[in-house]
Structure 1
Amino acid sequence: MNYADRNLPYWRRNLAVCVFGSFTTLVSLTMLLPFLPLYVQQLGFTAQADVVQWSAVAFGATFFGTAITAPLWGRLADRFGRKPMLIRAAIGMAIVMSLIGLARDVTDLVVLRLIAGLIGGYASASIVMIGSQVPREKAGWALGVLSTGALSGNLIGPLVGGFLPQWVGIRGTFFVGAAVIAVAALATILLVREDFQRGVDGSQRTKNSADKQDSTRWPIIAALLVTAMMVLLANMSIEPIITVYIGHLGVAFDDQARVAGVVMAASALGSILTAARLGALADRIGGWNVIIGCLVLTGILMLPQAYVTQWWQLAVLRGLMGMTLAGLLPAIAKLIRGAVQAHNTGKILGYLQSAQFSGQVIGPLIGGQIGAHSGLHHVFLVTGALLVLCAGINGWIKSRFDGAPAGLDQSTAPR
């Protein structure tokens, strides 16, 4: 009996715990967004250029660490089991989150955020566990539920970060986040079940000639990985410095963190509203068409964000942008699963996660540098141009390479 069959009785309960754990860890990771520039100021920097740049570096450090170690944790999960990886991520993040609340200077903040990324990755580990345990006929639904938990965490996190510091202080907010992650760790230890036989499940599978077939599809895969990176880059290019931008729109200093939380949450809310619908649209009209259309629309929506005069205008535009961004990742995953052989799907989806985390690193860095040296409104203009360029690349790849791989973007492709 293989791993999936042995763990079939446990997948529903494991899914519930993983949704809760993904939600809480992402709330804790994103709740600092509204007050991150304020925390950097508390730690010793007052000049706007310094605050903008160090906020971007501190925010991106976590995702840089995760992008580096995600493939490693995936290999260890195959060797030692999925549950140990969940426990490692939850406990590690709870400890590091507490230490961030004790940071003495910006260097401590950046290093601890980097460590959080290196040892974290609860949501990624959840995808590996649920994806390998759930019955094939329910895989799409289960992973969709798991994705909703992660998106909800991204939505609630900035809202929590906008209000909680007023009650417990900025440093106290990190301790609250650590306590919530600790609850997720306890739930994982006590409730998640896994029947893992290291001698069987941890053995290496032999490769076959199908790997050579996959090599001919690397132009398609590479374009999709770059596009996945652009999805997160577009969303994250302004978020670490959005509090500063809102200040330029006339919002009072005491209200900046709260308003920034609302604006940031608008993007995640828009994605939650349209993700399922755009995923179904990709099934009907093809993943390439959805990807190209969403990239162009998102690029266009970036432009007016550079010229808003009120914070609520920015919130509305970020919400609309979240709606168009939501169609990209489901369509990308659909195309990737159809472009590779079944035994290589996990490996390529691992690269997909690394690409997304890389976007979360590059986006804040680009936004921070452009905002500091050229003005905040240029961040929107450059990001919009990159999205339209990416749409053109996808159109060229579609016309040049699409059709050769069997099963790519067709109704018969693996779901």
Structure 2
Amino acid sequence: MNSVQRKRPQWQQNLYVLWFGCFMAGMGFSLVLPFMSLYIDTLGHFSHMQLNFWSGLTYAATYLVTAVVSPLWGRLADRKGRKLMLLRASAGMAIVMGAMAFVTNVYQLVALRALQGVFSGFISNANALIATSAPREKSGQALGTLSTGSVTGQMIGPLLGGTIAGFFGYRVTFLITACLLAAGFILCLFFVHESFEPVEKGQQLPAKEIMHQLPHPQLIIGMFVTTMFIMAANNSISPIISLFVRELLHNHGNVPLISGIVAALPGIATLIAAPQFGRLGDRIGTQRILLLGLIFATLIYLPQGFVTNIWQLAILRIFVGISDAALLPAVQTILAKYSPHTVAGRIFSYNQSFQSVGQVSGPLIGSGISGFLGYNGVFFTTAALEFVNFVWVWHSTKPLRIKKNNRPT
């Protein structure tokens, strides 16, 4: 080791701290989901139909509100800075999550879940900050690495949440999650630094003008819709995965544990593969990685509809994680590379709105399809959705292919 240590570039320090913050945010959103319906059941006397209704509403409330308010926070981020938005999101989520431990009825819980959506935006602003501070030639690798933080948190969250709830009860789990989110706030406060020039309110362009002034507006809008498709496809399996596992096990074995492992496998694969795809995209073109990832996802979802045992499903879910590693990070990299830094906050917040729509519509699609076509039909429908997304991306990225073909040799 050299006696004189080189100082780490600021963008790299931000990346490491924000990775942990995104990990906390991802875990904060997913840690309570495995027992949310059970927690609701302790708040009153509900029929089976009422419990399903309140569980669905409680789940959707956060994402519906996020879809609406994200552009407002993005506009403020471009005026006041992304670090301020990171502190606002992490502090707000910590307070709201802690308050959920003290609710006495389901109406309070739904209201707090909606308020959690108001304080969303940590991950989108982390992406915006890294996108505007990392060197362009390393943006794919940096955003690919950052994306693994939230993915890992979402992967570990359900397993950790179920374990804590089993030992300490539901309410203590909310308090522990609040403490973890508070830790993310403290790290951002002291260790994240942003070089930011405030933009006056009167100097900000309206959304319509921003789109007109972008070099490739069709590409940016196309990536928003692509994000929605990706999240809808990923979440379409969520409502039926444990039921499908139970069917494959013929009602034998530890279904909750095995379901948790199967659900976590894609996240493990994404954690390993995402930085590699980001680095490769910086070399061969991020749009190529995105297109290949969508084709691969289509081919991987199809055979899941034909599996006959849990091992086949587990192996295919690992490959789903590899395809995921090529998708959302690629979209975020394209948004970063083809959007001016002055509007990055709004661009990533619009993308989060579309992401939230996908997170709500995906489970609805999965539940609806499974009712008509069975569990296998959900996988076939998801494969079709991924292929439609491929066609959409092929059309949306046409300006990049034209630009490359017209480049002088």
- Whole-angstrom distance in 1 between the partners of 2:266 and 2:393: 24
SS of the residue corresponding to residue 158 of structure 2 reads helix
- Whole-angstrom distance in 2 between the partners of 1:76 and 1:394: 30
- Whole-angstrom distance in 1 between the partners of 2:374 and 2:105: 26
Q: Which residue of 2 aligns with 1:17?
A: 17
Name the stretch that deviates more: 22-31 or 389-398.
389-398
AA of the residue aligned to 1:27: M
SS of the residue corresponding to residue 325 of structure 1 reads helix
Name the stretch that deviates more: 178-187 or 298-307.
298-307
284 and 194 in structure 1: CA distance in 2 versus 1, 3 angstrom threshold: closer
- Whole-angstrom distance in 2 between the partners of 1:56 and 1:266: 25
Q: How does 1:320-331 map to 2 (within 5 A)?
A: 320-331=319-330
Q: Which residue of 1 aligns with 2:110?
A: 110
Kept in 2, the 8 Å contact 1:33–1:158? The answer is yes
1:50 Cα shift?
6.0
Q: How does 1:207-356 map to 2 (within 5 A)?
A: 212=212, 214=214, 217-250=216-249, 255-283=254-282, 285-337=284-336, 339-340=338-339, 346-356=345-355
280 and 367 in structure 1: CA distance in 2 versus 1, 3 angstrom threshold: same
SS of the residue corresponding to residue 238 of structure 1 reads coil
Q: How does 1:28-177 map to 2 (within 5 A)?
A: 28-43=28-43, 44-45=45-46, 47=48, 54-134=54-134, 139-177=139-177
Kept in 2, the 8 Å contact 1:162–1:259? The answer is no
The Cα offsets for residues 127-176 of structure 1, whole Å up to 9 and x where unpaired, read as: 23333444556544543442232222122212212422221123322221
- Whole-angstrom distance in 1 between the partners of 2:54 and 2:380: 22
AA of the residue aligned to 1:326: A
AA of the residue aligned to 2:21: G
14 and 275 in structure 1: CA distance in 2 versus 1, 3 angstrom threshold: closer
53 and 245 in structure 1: CA distance in 2 versus 1, 3 angstrom threshold: farther
- Whole-angstrom distance in 2 between the partners of 1:105 and 1:252: 33
1:101 Cα shift?
3.0
Kept in 1, the 8 Å contact 2:62–2:113? The answer is yes
- Whole-angstrom distance in 2 between the partners of 1:192 and 1:70: 22
Kept in 1, the 8 Å contact 2:58–2:110? The answer is yes
AA of the residue aligned to 1:174: F
167 and 127 in structure 1: CA distance in 2 versus 1, 3 angstrom threshold: same
Name the stretch that deviates more: 34-43 or 168-177.
34-43
The Cα offsets for residues 63-114 of structure 1, whole Å up to 9 and x where unpaired, read as: 2222222221122123233333222211211122123334445444433222
Kept in 2, the 8 Å contact 1:34–1:258? The answer is no
AA of the residue aligned to 1:25: A
SS of the residue corresponding to residue 32 of structure 2 reads coil
- Whole-angstrom distance in 1 between the partners of 2:280 and 2:134: 24
Percent of paired sites with the same residue: 36
TM-score of the two chains, using structure 1 as the length reference? 0.80
Kept in 1, the 8 Å contact 2:70–2:353? The answer is yes
- Whole-angstrom distance in 1 between the partners of 2:42 and 2:279: 47
Kept in 2, the 8 Å contact 1:335–1:409? The answer is no
280 and 360 in structure 1: CA distance in 2 versus 1, 3 angstrom threshold: same
Q: Which residue of 1 aligns with 2:4?
A: none
- Whole-angstrom distance in 1 between the partners of 2:370 and 2:200: 49
- Whole-angstrom distance in 1 between the partners of 2:123 and 2:406: 26
- Whole-angstrom distance in 1 between the partners of 2:192 and 2:355: 27
1:384 aligns to 2:383 (yes or no): yes
Give RMSD over aligned pairs: 3.7
Kept in 1, the 8 Å contact 2:131–2:336? The answer is no
> Structure 1: any 5+ residue segments left out of the alignment?
1-7
Kept in 2, the 8 Å contact 1:59–1:364? The answer is no
AA of the residue aligned to 1:33: L
83 and 342 in structure 1: CA distance in 2 versus 1, 3 angstrom threshold: closer
> Structure 2: any 5+ residue segments left out of the alignment?
1-7
Kept in 1, the 8 Å contact 2:144–2:277? The answer is no
Kept in 2, the 8 Å contact 1:339–1:407? The answer is no
1:184 aligns to 2:169 (yes or no): no
- Whole-angstrom distance in 1 between the partners of 2:308 and 2:37: 21
Kept in 2, the 8 Å contact 1:22–1:123? The answer is yes
Kept in 2, the 8 Å contact 1:53–1:372? The answer is no
Kept in 2, the 8 Å contact 1:152–1:268? The answer is yes
1:238 Cα shift?
2.0
Kept in 1, the 8 Å contact 2:132–2:336? The answer is no
338 and 77 in structure 1: CA distance in 2 versus 1, 3 angstrom threshold: closer
408 and 152 in structure 1: CA distance in 2 versus 1, 3 angstrom threshold: farther
Q: How many residue pairs get matched?
A: 399
- Whole-angstrom distance in 2 between the partners of 1:300 and 1:205: 44
245 and 56 in structure 1: CA distance in 2 versus 1, 3 angstrom threshold: farther
Kept in 2, the 8 Å contact 1:18–1:126? The answer is yes
